[in-house]
Amino acid sequence: MIPGIHRPAAVRVDLGAVKQNIEQEIKHLEPGQKLFAVVKANAYGHGAVQVAKTAVSAGAAGFCVAILDEALELRRAGIVQPILVLGVTPAKYAALAAVNGVSLTVPDVEWLKKAAEQLTGTGLQLKIHLAIDSGMGRIGFSTDDEFIAANDLLLDSDTFVVEGLFTHFASADSSNDTYFKSQVARFNHFQSLLKVHPKWIHLDNTAASVFNKKIHSDLVRFGIGIYGLNPSSNPASADLATAIKLKPALSFESELVQVHLIHQGQGVGYGSTYVADGDQLIGTVPVGYADGFIRKFQGFKIKVGTEFCPIVGRICMDQLMVRLPHKMPVGTKVVLISNNLAEPNNIKAAADYVDTIHYEVACLLDDRLPRIYDN
């Protein structure tokens, strides 16, 4: 995807906010804990390489990504800290990961056997983290027998370096901690079966840390908090209070490219879902659902100059229209998503409007939108 540098639209990222969020979290860590910055999905839409470099300067000890290609991107950019791929990587790429010093997740004993075959005769050692399915129902060991079998295999192998044992919580962002505690107990059970000795035992994600769940974890996998967003955010309830102050880093900006007058009875957009009830000024903004600003945002108010104006008519693939309260010049700044939580078009408000979470809103912003970095 080629960024649209000849179009007045971009995602702006405040790297000063990113650094501040990480520094605040590092101060909040328990003694001896380290922070691994989660920069998967292009750093939740913020730009993986730039965020990773900022994270290093802020004191991050390592990184987590979702797929091997994201890890390799960081290595090509000169990131030398440990990198863990949290998702399942096909075992046939074990040697590629080993050559690049990237740690892979082990989901089951069959994966371990296949990876061992790929590494036989190469002289390479692969760093691994054993995943436990403690209640997400996603990936990881879920039976005692299989986990013990994997431990036995690893005891007799010099092919693998057991770097970590981890799980992921389904509800650390909830005020009801019943299920959370059941996951901790299940993880502790698997930990009691260990025969190998991982360097790091890690359970803490952003939510478990900033909501002070007080569990033993050598690492905190700090994800959504890097970007200044509350991990408990969802449309159905108020955000929980965090132990650290988070500063949103992302805004989405454009400008008016045309302003024109329409008259009573004239429609706007595909299907004419909006029809003017009198003379109205309509402004056109050159972004649409192909940029990740989905059609459900119809009706959402975005900031045009100093005014908050509703999106009218269906959002098109590459353009959207707003109803203006008065004549505004072409080139007037438009803020579709604000990094100011006090403004009604902040990312939490945007996510609530389309009945989703801010993670999704940020990740949907397409690479066609250039990223501009401040501070």
What is the tens place of the pLDDT at every residue in 88-134?
999 999 999 999 999 999 999 999 999 999 999 999 999 999 999 99
Q: How confident is the model at residue 12 (pLDDT cuts 50, 70, 90)?
A: very high
Quick one: pLDDT at residue 69? Answer: 98
Query: From the candidates 113, 181, 214, 270, which is the catalytic residue?
Result: 270
**Is the CB of residue 23 less than 8 Å from the CB of residue 17?**
no
What integer is the mean pLDDT of 308-315?
98
Tell me: pLDDT of 237 over 80: no
Quick one: pLDDT at residue 263? Answer: 97
Q: Is 179 a catalytic residue?
A: no
User: Per the structure block, which two tokens stand in for 321?
Assistant: 């229209």
Q: How confident is the model at residue 170 (pLDDT cuts 50, 70, 90)?
A: very high
| Cβ burial, residue 54 (10 Å; 0-12/13-18/19+) | buried
State whether CATH 3.20.20.10 applies to domain 15-227.
Answer: yes
| Cβ burial, residue 75 (10 Å; 0-12/13-18/19+) | middle
Please list, in sequence order, all residues whose beta carbon lies within 8 angstroms of the beta carbon of residue 177, skipping any fewer than 6 positions away: 171, 213
Show me where the domains of the chain are located.
Answer: 15-227, 250-338
**Is the CB of residue 209 less than 8 Å from the CB of residue 28?**
yes
- Quick one: residue 64, left, alpha or beta (phi over 0 = left, psi -120 to 50 = alpha)? beta
Q: How confident is the model at residue 1 (pLDDT cuts 50, 70, 90)?
A: confident
Query: From the candidates 19, 40, 247, 303, which is the catalytic residue?
Result: 40
The model's pTM is: 0.95
The CATH number of the domain covering residues in 250-338: 2.40.37.10
Quick one: pLDDT at residue 370? Answer: 98
Q: Is 195 a catalytic residue?
A: no
Among 193, 219, 170, smallest CA distance to 26 is for 219
Tell me: pLDDT of 338 over 90: yes
